[in-house]
Structure 1
Amino acid sequence: MTLKTIAPVIDENGVTAPTYDQIIAYLKDKYRGIYGDDAYLEADSLDGQFLGVLALEFANVGSACVQVYNSFNPKTALKDALTRNVKINGIRRSLATFSTADLLITGIPGTAIRNGVASDKNGNKWNLPALVTIPSDGQITVTAKASQAGAILALANSITTITTPTRGWLSVTNLTSSSMGQDIESDTKLRQRQALSTQNAASSQTDALCGAILALNDVTRCKAFENDTSQVDVNGLPANSVCIVVYGGDSKEIAEIMAVKKAMGCAYYGNTNITVLSPYSDPKVVQIYRPTVKQISYQVRIVSTDSYSADTSDAISQNLATYTNALDIGDKITQNKIIGVANLFGAEASMSYEVDSISILVDGVPVDGDYILPFGCVAFCDASNNAIEVTSE
């Protein structure tokens, strides 16, 4: 195809820019039009190399123009451009976060716990809010934050040690698994959250509720389950109830939004009780469902070639962990998808091996075929727990 110009073009179909091969062909054609058809312009000539340098720079400029054009759309914007775009929806990219856990504190009513710290069975420390006052019924649920950033898993009933003893503080425990911190939010997750955030003003009250919760800091997943029948459904939800499953975020902030957006005559169902005050200062209990974390790992058997590198195993393990940790609440882990993930498609290392088989392990127990996360569960994969078996051709 003969080009009329090597400049990027914006028309009714969007933006287009010529490739390097098209540009070099265009420049050679123009050069020969000036100096004659017998001009030698192959890569081993000085003039050919000079045209190659020009073509590369023109191609880079065209690519930059395409990226600028695409940066105005949240579906195609990248990095900082996407971060700027989502501000119009009232949200922002989540920074690296700390793991959180809802702790049930019991003790003598009126006890004030200042800068309290609890520890789990693995020695990880969890910081309570600056001031926790035990109410008249002798117990309160608060959200504690891990002292170190990153994905720190604390299974249910594992945070039981009072690290900063306080007179009147009798016990501490986490009835649900911790919500693990994450690295800075990826473009993919931010795009998903941006799409959901447009439901804040939706006609559906449930959609609006999920959109508002997803806009809170540290909330990475939120899913609503409704039972509008007169009997218990397959998920165990009582009749005429709504279950809001939320991963991450401060429980009190979440409960306050749920209290404001609650539908008349419909009850919330969950595994965590949070007391909030109504506009008339009346205490009200809101039930939030905190997900259970399923620890996922993989046993991968690959057949390698002579060009295989030991670093490839680490890349495969990390790729599988990244994919798994991005799954939604109650998602499905399928063999055909994880085989694609393990193949590192697009990477140079993908040519050095073939995936022979992959087994999924849940909490250390192998499962057959695909795996569907149970109701109210999320997946977590630590790359170091994946096993890669390498065999030669």
Structure 2
Amino acid sequence: MENYKYIDSTGVIIPDTGDIKTEVQNEFRAVFGDDLDVSDSTPQGLLIAAETNARANVVRNNAALANQINPNISGGIFLDAIWSLTGGERDKATRSQVMATLIGSPGTNIRARVRARTTAGDTFESVSSAKIDNTGKVNVLFQSLEFGPVPCGTGSLTEIVTSDAILGWDGITNDSPAVIGTLSQSDLSVRNLRRRTLALQAVSMPEAIISRLYTVDGVRSLSFRENISNQTQTIDGIEMKPHSIFVCVYGGTDDDVARTLLNTKSGGCAYNGNTNVSVVEPISGQTYEVTFERPEIINLLIKVYIRKGSLNTTGITTQAQTAIMMYANGEIEGESGFAVGEDISPFEIAGGVNEVYPELFVSKVEIAKESDGVFSTNEIPIALDEVAAITISAITVIIQ
């Protein structure tokens, strides 16, 4: 063990725990004699087990640390460092924010960071000081103490935290709902986005256009084709002008997508698509007409058959539905989910369920387009200008 090398030319090595235990047993016999009883029930057996566990933990720690140089496995600050090499940065967690109306006696000074609670018990605090005006009111921005999607509906911020009460401040409310905060971008999301944006620092090339588009806020997936000939061509079912590109983008605002395309594509390259946006180039002031495609949404129906076996049926339906939604949203490692131009496979959906809940025995998955309702175990083809969609209510779980 003292000569253990956890990296060689083939990659990271994790020795079998049984081999480590055998090595420790041999070390004990070398010290106390070959006739030493090393069975687990003996005192020395317990010491051997403890030493084996300690060495195995070192092995796993070394392997986990060594794997941080692999961007497809790394996480946390290691992944952030790798992604920064190509200009990427993790989306940070944000707090929910709401404009609150403070009610009280005119002239009352309200210090910053006073707290109030919603009817659901979530705590918000003010971000600045204020003074109640002659109307007996003042508007102050409040933010949640916790990061992430903390809800605050209209009229729900009503309780002043007792320890923060101020003489002359009588009440609080909000006339509009909060702008909901977000959690920090997950390692899974960062790894997926990094793979899609490796050409972020380039321009003109297909890889560069795709990379830039994936950095647009709200873009979930896209498809791309290029016609480099001087004639109109039909490529993968898409009719394209000479020397043009076709980009079908799901998500993001029209303006953001159009501006990104204008800034990234080659000069003189034509567009194709069903969405046209006028974009003013800020340096020259010229207005360009940018065209791209928005996908047709293909709503699906899914039936998943699960063999009960010895499982308790409580929660099976929810588990299966949750797993399918995770698969569809691309929240499973190595799966792109329901993306633009990606065919939908019942087999892949079943694999997604088992990835999330290995204990579920999926005997069959059937899928259908909502438009015809014809279920089948065959793949449903999705064109380059289409994207599949599913809602949890469209997933039927049949326990056999």
Check the 8 A contact 1:96/1:149 in 2, yes or no: no
1:359 matched to which residue of 2? 366
Q: Deviations over 1:102-155 (max 9, x none)?
A: xxxxxxxxxxxxxxxxxxxxxxxxxxxxxxxxxxxxxxxxxxxxxx979xxxxx
Q: Deviations over 1:332-391 (max 9, x none)?
A: 11233223233x1585524xx3x3321113336334311122332223333343111112
2:327 matched to which residue of 1? 323
After TM superposition, the structure 1 = structure 2 runs for residues 170-209 of structure 1, keeping only pairs within 5 Å, are: 187-200=187-200, 205-209=205-209
- Deviation, 1:320, is 1.8
Specify the code of the residue in structure 1 equivalent to 2:350. I
Residue number among 268, 271, 293 corresponding to 2:271 in the alignment: 268
Unmatched 5+ stretches in structure 1: 98-147, 151-180
* Matches of 2:321 and 2:93, distance apart in 1: 21
Check the 8 A contact 1:7/1:17 in 2, yes or no: no
1:338 matched to which residue of 2? 349
| 1:231 to 2:232 alignment | yes
2:27 matched to which residue of 1? 30
- Deviation, 1:236, is 3.9
2:60 matched to which residue of 1? 63
- Deviation, 1:299, is 0.5
* Matches of 1:189 and 1:215, distance apart in 2: 12
Counterpart secondary structure, 2:359: helix
- Deviation, 1:261, is 3.0
1:379 matched to which residue of 2? 388
Identity of aligned residues (%): 21
- Deviation, 1:95, is 6.1
Q: Alpha carbons of 1:367 and 1:81: their partners in 2 closer, same or farther (altered >3 Å)? A: farther
* Matches of 1:8 and 1:322, distance apart in 2: 38
1:165 matched to which residue of 2? none
1:145 matched to which residue of 2? none
Q: Alpha carbons of 1:295 and 1:78: their partners in 2 closer, same or farther (altered >3 Å)? A: farther
- Runs of 4+ in structure 1 deviating by more than 6 angstroms, as ranges, are 181-184
Q: Alpha carbons of 1:300 and 1:183: their partners in 2 closer, same or farther (altered >3 Å)? A: farther
1:161 matched to which residue of 2? none
Counterpart secondary structure, 1:71: helix
1:284 matched to which residue of 2? 288
* Matches of 1:345 and 1:300, distance apart in 2: 15
* Matches of 1:29 and 1:349, distance apart in 2: 38
Q: Deviations over 1:8-55 (max 9, x none)?
A: 433333332323222211111111111122222222223212321221
* Matches of 2:287 and 2:201, distance apart in 1: 27
Per mean C-alpha deviation after superposition, the further-off stretch among 44-53 and 233-242 is 233-242
Check the 8 A contact 2:295/2:385 in 1, yes or no: yes
Q: Alpha carbons of 1:383 and 1:183: their partners in 2 closer, same or farther (altered >3 Å)? A: farther
Superposition CA RMSD, Å: 3.2
Q: Deviations over 1:34-89 (max 9, x none)?
A: 11222222222232123212211221121111111110121221344323321111
Q: Alpha carbons of 1:12 and 1:359: their partners in 2 closer, same or farther (altered >3 Å)? A: closer
Per mean C-alpha deviation after superposition, the further-off stretch among 279-288 and 188-197 is 188-197
Counterpart secondary structure, 1:57: helix
Q: Alpha carbons of 1:220 and 1:6: their partners in 2 closer, same or farther (altered >3 Å)? A: farther
* Matches of 1:294 and 1:90, distance apart in 2: 34
Specify the code of the residue in structure 2 equivalent to 1:301. Y
Check the 8 A contact 1:72/1:81 in 2, yes or no: yes
Check the 8 A contact 2:228/2:242 in 1, yes or no: yes
Specify the code of the residue in structure 2 equivalent to 1:338. I
2:134 matched to which residue of 1? none
Q: Alpha carbons of 1:184 and 1:312: their partners in 2 closer, same or farther (altered >3 Å)? A: farther
Question: Based on CA coordinates, which of the two structures has the bigger radius of gyration?
Answer: 2
1:144 matched to which residue of 2? none
Q: Alpha carbons of 1:294 and 1:242: their partners in 2 closer, same or farther (altered >3 Å)? A: same
Q: Alpha carbons of 1:307 and 1:254: their partners in 2 closer, same or farther (altered >3 Å)? A: closer
* Matches of 1:95 and 1:271, distance apart in 2: 34
* Matches of 2:93 and 2:296, distance apart in 1: 22
After TM superposition, the structure 1 = structure 2 runs for residues 1-393 of structure 1, keeping only pairs within 5 Å, are: 5=2, 7-94=4-91, 187-200=187-200, 205-228=205-228, 230-231=231-232, 233=234, 234-278=237-281, 279-326=283-330, 327=337, 328-342=339-353, 344=354, 347=357, 349-350=359-360, 353=361, 355-363=362-370, 365-368=373-376, 369-391=378-400
* Matches of 1:315 and 1:15, distance apart in 2: 34
* Matches of 1:17 and 1:82, distance apart in 2: 22
* Matches of 2:394 and 2:93, distance apart in 1: 22
Q: Alpha carbons of 1:339 and 1:205: their partners in 2 closer, same or farther (altered >3 Å)? A: same
Unmatched 5+ stretches in structure 2: 95-147, 151-180, 331-336
Q: Alpha carbons of 1:286 and 1:61: their partners in 2 closer, same or farther (altered >3 Å)? A: same
Specify the code of the residue in structure 2 equivalent to 1:383. I
1:136 matched to which residue of 2? none
Check the 8 A contact 1:245/1:376 in 2, yes or no: yes
* Matches of 1:68 and 1:200, distance apart in 2: 27
* Matches of 1:383 and 1:96, distance apart in 2: 27
- Deviation, 1:212, is 1.9
Check the 8 A contact 2:299/2:389 in 1, yes or no: yes
